[in-house]
Amino acid sequence: MKLVFLDASVPVQDVLQPAGFEGEIHRESIFHEPSDIEIRPLSPVVSGLKGGLLCLTSGFDPWNLSVFWFHKGFPVPPSNITSHIIRERDGTFSLRSLYRFIPTEADCTAECLCQVSNPAWQLPRNASITLIIHYGPRTVTVTSDSGAVINGPVHLNKGSPLNLSCASEGKPWPETQWLRGDITVQHSTETLHIPAVQKEHEGLYWCVARNQYGERNSSITLLVSDSGCEPTCLLVKLLCVGILVLVDTIIFIVFLIRKNKTADHEAIELSMSQTSPQ
Give, as one character, the DSSP assignment of residue 273. H
pLDDT digits (tens, 9 = 90+) for 215-259: 999 888 889 988 655 555 556 656 765 676 676 577 657 656 765
Q: Where is the domain boundary, 109, 134, 159? A: 134
What is the rounded average pLDDT of the residues 162-171? 90
Shared-domain flag, residues 44 and 97? yes
Q: Is the pLDDT of residue 123 over 60?
A: yes
Shared-domain flag, residues 145 and 125? no
Number of neighbouring beta carbons within 10 Å of residue 262 = 10
Of residues 229 and 10, more confidence is placed in 229
Which CATH number does the domain housing residue 49 bear? Answer: 2.60.40.10
Rounded-to-integer distance, Cα 178 and Cα 190, Å: 8
Residue 170 is assigned to a structural domain of this protein: yes
Residues 6+ apart with CB under 8 A from 24: 2
Shared-domain flag, residues 37 and 108? yes
Q: Which residues constitute the domain of residue 115?
A: 33-134
| Total domains present in the chain | 3
Give, as one character, the DSSP assignment of residue 135. B
Rounded-to-integer distance, Cα 4 and Cα 30, Å: 9
Burial of 265 (C-beta count, 10 Å sphere; 0-12/13-18/19+): exposed
Give, as one character, the DSSP assignment of residue 61. B
Rounded-to-integer distance, Cα 26 and Cα 7, Å: 13
When the pLDDT of each residue in the chain is averaged and rounded to a whole number, the result is 78
Residue 245 is assigned to a structural domain of this protein: no
**pTM of structure:** 0.62
Burial of 174 (C-beta count, 10 Å sphere; 0-12/13-18/19+): buried
100-104, 139-143, 262-266: the lowest-pLDDT one? 262-266
Rounded-to-integer distance, Cα 36 and Cα 143, Å: 52
Residue 244 is assigned to a structural domain of this protein: no
pLDDT digits (tens, 9 = 90+) for 19-77: 444 555 444 446 788 888 999 999 999 999 999 999 999 988 888 889 999 999 999 99
Q: Is the pLDDT of residue 1 over 80?
A: no
Distance of CA 208 to the CA centre of its chain: 13
What pLDDT was estimated at residue 32? 81
> Of 11, 20, 19, 21, which Cα lies nearest the Cα of 3?
21
Q: Is the pLDDT of residue 9 over 70?
A: no
> Of 64, 70, 96, 100, which Cα lies nearest the Cα of 83?
96
Q: Give the burial string for 239-249 (b: 16+ CB within 10 Å, else e).
A: eeeeeeeeeee
> Of 49, 38, 43, 171, which Cα lies nearest the Cα of 101?
49
Q: How confident is the model at residue 11 (pLDDT cuts 50, 70, 90)?
A: very low
What pLDDT was estimated at residue 182? 61
Helix (H, G, I), strand (E, B) or coil at 128: strand
What pLDDT was estimated at residue 79? 94
Number of neighbouring beta carbons within 10 Å of residue 65 = 20
Residue 110 is assigned to a structural domain of this protein: yes
* Host H or E run for residue 209: strand 203-211
Of residues 204 and 127, more confidence is placed in 127
What pLDDT was estimated at residue 230? 53
Of residues 170 and 277, more confidence is placed in 170
Number of neighbouring beta carbons within 10 Å of residue 107 = 19
Shared-domain flag, residues 38 and 25? no
Residues 6+ apart with CB under 8 A from 165: 142, 143, 144, 190, 191, 192
Residue 161 is assigned to a structural domain of this protein: yes
